Chains A and B, each alone.
Chain A
Amino acid sequence: MWVLLVLIVIVGLWVIAAYNGLISLKNQTVNAFKQIDVQLKRRHDLIPNLVNAVKGAMDFERSTLEAVIQARNQAVKVNASGPENVKQISQAENALSGALSRLLVTVERYPELKATGNIGQLQEELTSTENRIAFARQLYNDTATQYNTKQQQFPTTLVAGLAHAERADLWEIEDQAERAVPQVDLSRR
Chain B
Amino acid sequence: MTSLDGNLFQQQEANRRRTTWLVIGFVLFFAWLGFGGDYIWALSSSHHPFPWLGILLTTGAIVTAWYSYRTGPEKVLWATGAHELIDPQTDSERQLVNVVEEMAIAAGVPRPRIWIVPDEDPNAFATGHDPRDSHIAVTNGLLRICNRDELQGVIGHELGHVKNLDVRLMTTLAALVGAVLLVRDGMGRMMGRGRLPVRSSGRRGKDAGPLLAILLALWVISWIIAPLVTQLLAMAVSRRREYLADAMSAQFTRNPLALASALQKIESAAAPTESIKSGAAHLCIADPLGRRLTNHEGWLADTFATHPPMSMRISRLKGMGYAQLKKEGGSFTSSALG
Contact = CB atoms under 8 A, between A and B. Distances in A.
Interface of A: 28, 32, 35, 39, 120-121, 124-125, 127-128, 131-132, 135-136, 138-139, 142-143, 146, 149, 183, 185-189
B106 interface: yes
Given A120-B91, A124-B91, A138-B254, A187 B335 contact: yes
Contacts of B149: 187
A185 B105 contact: no
Interface residues of B, number: 22
Nearest to B105: A135
A185 B335 contact: yes
A188 B148 CA distance: 8
Contacts of A127: 98, 148
Nearest to B106: A135
A124 B98 contact: yes
Contacts of B102: 128, 131-132, 135
Interface string B147-162: 1110000000000000
Contacts of B2: 146, 149
Given A120-B91, A146-B2, A186 B106 contact: no
A139 B333 contact: no
Contacts of A149: 2
Contacts, number: 53
Contacts of A121: 91, 94
A132 B148 contact: no
B101 interface: yes
B103 interface: yes
B122 to A, nearest CB: 15
Chain A interface SS verdict (over half): helix
B188 interface: no
A132 B254 contact: no
Nearest to A183: B333
Interface of B: 1-2, 5, 91, 94-95, 98-99, 101-103, 105-108, 147-149, 252, 254, 333, 335
Given A149-B2, A187-B148, A128 B91 contact: no
A132 B95 contact: no
B5 A146 contact: yes
Contacts of A135: 102-103, 105-106, 252
| Cβ-closest 8 pairs across A and B | A187-B148, A135-B106, A128-B98, A187-B147, A135-B105, A131-B102, A185-B335, A139-B108
A135 B101 CA distance: 10
Given A127-B148, A128-B101, 9 more contacts: A135-B103, A135-B252, A139-B107, A146-B5, A183-B333, A185-B335, A187-B335, A188-B147, A188-B335
Contacts of B254: 138
B106 A139 contact: yes
B147 A32 contact: no
A142 B8 CA distance: 14
Which one of A28, A183, A189 has the greatest number of beta carbons of chain B within 10 Å? Answer: A189
A146 B149 CA distance: 27
A181 to B, nearest CB: 11
A32 B95 contact: no
A174 B91 CA distance: 35
A39 B105 contact: yes
Nearest to B4: A142
A28 B91 CA distance: 34
Contact of B108 (A32, A39, A125, A132): A32
Contacts of B91: 120-121, 124
30 contacts: A28-B108, A35-B108, A39-B105, A120-B91, A121-B94, A124-B94, A124-B95, A124-B98, A127-B98, A127-B148, A128-B99, A128-B101, A128-B102, A132-B101, A132-B102, A132-B105, A135-B102, A135-B105, A135-B252, A136-B106, A138-B106, A138-B254, A139-B107, A142-B1, A149-B2, A183-B333, A186-B148, A187-B149, A188-B147, A189-B147
Contacts of B98: 124-125, 127-128, 131
Contacts of B107: 139
A188 B1 CA distance: 30
A76 to B, nearest CB: 21
Nearest to A136: B105
Contacts of A125: 98
Contacts of B333: 183
B331 to A, nearest CB: 8
